[in-house]
Amino acid sequence: MNAQNVVESLKKRFPNEPEYIQAVSVVLNSIEEEYNKHPEFEKANLIERLCIPDRIFTFRVSWVDDKGNVQTNMAYRVQHNMAIGPYKGGIRFHSSVNPSILKFLAFEQTFKNSLTTLPMGGAKGGSDFSPRGKSNNEVMRFCQAYLLELWRHIGPDTDVPAGDIGVGGREVGYMFGMYRKLAHDFTGTFTGKGLEFGGSLIRPEATGYGNVYFLTSMLATRNIELKGKKVLVSGSGNVAQYTCEKLLQLGATPLTLSDSNGYIYDPDGITREKLDYVMELKNVQRGRIKEYAEKYGCKYVEGARPWGEKADIALPSATQNEINADDAKKLVANGVIAVSEGANMPCTPEAIKIFQDAKILYAPGKAANAGGVATSGLEMSQNSERLSWTREEVDAKLKGIMADIHANCVKYGKEADGTINYVKGANVAGFMKVAKAMMAQGII
């Protein structure tokens, strides 16, 4: 396999899908050497079968807003790969959602799920519906209308959706309710459910906590402690909030948060009390991060991202391509020692190269943020055995899984000079398991 040729051919077949091509390109370049050690893979054209999703459902969703107007949105489910388990991946509601973004996310999800060591295939879904500014009833009607079509394509052993940007506990609750009504079946078909109806303790916290656990493992390879470090966090949703919570528990200081309008910089640090305010502001009031700066009298920068501020560590936790080459140069110049991705693909390929050349610790999302889907896997197990595990049990399992993912990255990503290429490590480890499963199952 020549990675560049495969990417060029995919670009011709899918010309308007830059995010998908970007994700495929990063993965293929990092697995090329390992792949070419297995001529049987090439003979079975494994690479095309692995890059192109099994199927994509595209449909219109119609719903009625509070003024009585009929609205339409486009919606999708990308079922990427089922070789190692049922399709599994979140649902995103955001105005930017399109097939390219969902294909990149489903592709990444396949390797991420493989890395968790749990039996889950890869998928992703969503709609260009934006919950921002909508009433509770409008969000509920949209979720129900989305499920009217989606429900026939999912199931506990077929495809198990969860949350992502714009989809939290509220939305999962409405979708699960509609699913069980239509399917006439109470099963573990969604994860991220409320605790009263099959949800798992620690699932809301898992992505942010998992990223901080992974970060501590990376720092440990250089005998550095997290305690006392200053941290730039972007986003202010689920992942960002629980990243801050774990940082505070481990003695680090988050300095920034953001949303799609701008970022706040609090030189005194975002304390537990201030984080409680952010949780109320974002999860209940559904306000803007600017209001934090107004309340606590700190800096707010409209239309910008926090990467020019000075700190020791950066944890991008908002969205794709939020750190470009210029941002990466600023981070390196300011002496950042580690960048660990809470979001999916937040760093552009140019930014990743700058981090790797500077030999700072850099972890891709498919490893660092895998704690979310791993805990979703644990929710599926609890649903299947109709039992609930304690907070301590789930957290211990999450810690163990993040440590295993780190160990796998080290195993496959150790370079001759002793440094660890986490991109290569994560991609090769995730890829090999799916590849072997596909080879064993024949050409289908």
**How many distinct helices (H) and strands (E) make up the chain?**
17, 13
Q: Is 161 in the site for ligand NDP (CB under 6 A)?
A: no
Q: In sequence order, what are the residues at sequence separation of 6 or more whose Cβ sits closer than 8 angstroms to the Cβ of residue 356? A: 362, 421, 423
Nearer to ligand NDP, 41 or 125 (CB): 125
Cα 275 to Cα 32, 279, 339: the distances in Å are 43, 6, 22
Task: Report whether 400 contacts 365 (CB < 8 A).
Answer: no
Pick from 172, 239, 405, 420 the residue near ligand NDP by CB under 6 A: 239
Q: Is 86 in the site for ligand NDP (CB under 6 A)?
A: no
Which stretches within 52-168 are classed as H helix? Answer: 99-115, 136-150
Nearer to ligand NDP, 141 or 366 (CB): 366
Pick from 75, 101, 143, 165 the residue near ligand NDP by CB under 6 A: 165
Looking at residues 369 to 428 of the shown chain, list those that interact with ligand NDP (rule: CB under 6 A): 369, 372
Cα separation of 130 and 139, whole Å?
9
* Closest CA relative to residue 126, chosen from 344, 304, 384: 344
Pick from 164, 266, 327, 395 the residue near ligand NDP by CB under 6 A: 164
Cα 137 to Cα 74, 104, 127, 132, 160: the distances in Å are 19, 31, 18, 13, 25
Nearest distance, CB of residue 291 and ligand NDP, angstroms: 12
Cα separation of 148 and 138, whole Å?
15
Looking at residues 421 to 440 of the shown chain, list those that interact with ligand NDP (rule: CB under 6 A): none
Task: Report whether 238 contacts 168 (CB < 8 A).
Answer: yes
Q: Is 19 in the site for ligand NDP (CB under 6 A)?
A: no
Cα separation of 257 and 309, whole Å?
12
Nearer to ligand NDP, 236 or 382 (CB): 236
CB-facing half-sphere around the CA of 139: CA atoms within 13 A:
19
Q: Is 327 in the site for ligand NDP (CB under 6 A)?
A: no
With CB under 6 A as the contact rule, which of the stretches 230-238, 382-390, 408-416, 424-432 interacts with ligand NDP?
230-238
With CB under 6 A as the contact rule, which of the stretches 71-79, 160-168, 377-385, 393-401 interacts with ligand NDP?
160-168
Site size toward ligand NDP, by CB under 6 A: 24
Q: Is 238 in the site for ligand NDP (CB under 6 A)?
A: yes
With CB under 6 A as the contact rule, which of the stretches 52-60, 262-270, 341-349, 353-361 interacts with ligand NDP?
341-349
Give CA 414 to chain center in angstroms: 24
* Residue tagged active-site, from 88, 112, 124, 282: 124
With CB under 6 A as the contact rule, which of the stretches 145-153, 178-186, 237-245, 382-390 interacts with ligand NDP?
237-245
124 is catalytic: yes
Cα separation of 109 and 124, whole Å?
8
Binding mask 166-195 for ligand NDP (x = CB under 6 A): x-x---------------------------
Measured at CB, which residue is nearest to ligand NDP? 237
Q: Is 30 in the site for ligand NDP (CB under 6 A)?
A: no
Q: Is 260 in the site for ligand NDP (CB under 6 A)?
A: yes
Task: Report whether 379 contacts 202 (CB < 8 A).
Answer: no
Cα separation of 92 and 165, whole Å?
5
Q: Is 318 in the site for ligand NDP (CB under 6 A)?
A: yes
Active-site residues, by number, are 124
Note the residues at the interface with ligand NDP (CB under 6 A): 94, 96, 163-166, 168, 207, 235-240, 259-260, 317-319, 342-344, 369, 372
